[in-house]
Amino acid sequence: MPFMSNRPPRDSVGVALYRHEAIGAVLQVRPTAAGPRLHVLIARRTKTPFEGMDALPSGAVEPDETLEDSVLRHLAQKVDVAGLTHLEQLGTSSDPDRDPAQRTIGTSYLGLVPTTFDPRLPARAAWVPVDDLPEMAFDHTTVVALAVRRLRAKLSYTNIGFALMPEEFIIADLRGVYVAALGRDVAATNLQRVLTRRGQLVSTGETASSGARGGRPARMFRFRDAHLVVTDPFAVLRPE
């Protein structure tokens, strides 16, 4: 039997040639019986390594594409990428043993979609709560944790909440999304006051229907900007 090695091949001048993959962690706040929860998009693998295990959408970066083009291509195989409201690079994983098949560098991305986004998924794909993940392939559990930390950090000093919400909403729904995304309780009045003071929220001048519970119709709001803006640059320096 010939000797097999997982060492990467080298070019004519001795530089190692190895695989680079793009990984997408797409987060969304989705309704559950217990209330809104933060979810991530995963898919069941059908090939080795880690056949039969769950993983984030990912795959090799082709020579003629950028990292962002690559992650969008792999995400498009699982979800309608037109629904993405935000995409940013998280980081690069370079552990030599992260892929048991071959030397692979992984660059991960955080993607966000609004609560109203609910496309049909392929048979092997699903949304799962980030605090109830199954065992995942490669280092994808770590990638999900990094994506959640990034989102929670940016909710404190940017307007990234726009990417989780529909274009117009009431404060009660905004609070539900923030509670799910942050993983802790948030008072609706405080949330409205802080985001308004930071210039993030704008009243639409409209009201929502009172619904089955009746009561005074709630005012409708929207985010002032539908792209990422740093609104409180010193928030990350404040103690908990």
Closest CA to 70 of 114, 106, 101: 106
Every domain of the chain with CATH number 3.90.79.10 lies at: 19-154
Q: Name residue 6's amino acid.
A: N
107, pLDDT greater than 50: yes
User: What is the CATH topology of the domain spanning 156-235?
Assistant: Arc Repressor Mutant, subunit A (1.10.10)
The residue length of the chain stands at 240
With contact defined as beta carbons under 8 Å apart, do 212 and 206 qualify?
Answer: no
- Predicted confidence at residue 1, as pLDDT, reads 36
pLDDT at res. 15: 78
Cα 191 to Cα 171: distance, rounded to the nearest angstrom: 8
What's the pLDDT at 3? 38
Structure tokens at 101: 């098949």
CATH assignment of 19-154? 3.90.79.10
* pLDDT for position 6: 59
Backbone angles phi, psi at 219, to 5 degrees: -70, 145
Residue-wise pLDDT for 46-70, tens only, equals: 999 999 999 999 999 999 999 999 9
Which pLDDT belongs to residue 4?
Answer: 40
Q: Which of 40, 188, 203, 47 is nearest to 126 (CA)?
A: 40
Question: Would you state the pLDDT for residue 227?
Answer: 97
Could you tell me what percent of the chain has a pLDDT over 70? 92
**Cα maximum dimension of the chain:** 78
For residue 103, what are its two tokens? 């030397």
Give the model confidence (pLDDT) of 121-176 as tens digits.
Answer: 999 999 999 999 999 999 999 999 999 999 999 999 999 999 999 999 999 999 99
**Parallel, antiparallel, or unpaired: how do β-strands 54-55 and 19-30 relate?**
unpaired
Residue type, 115: T
For the chain, residues classed under CATH 1.10.10.10 are: 156-235
Q: How far apart are CA 78 and CA 71, in angstroms?
A: 11
Quick: pLDDT tens for 5-58. Answer: 456 788 777 777 789 999 999 999 999 999 999 999 999 999 999 999 999 999
C-alpha–C-alpha distance, residues 77 and 66, integer Å: 17
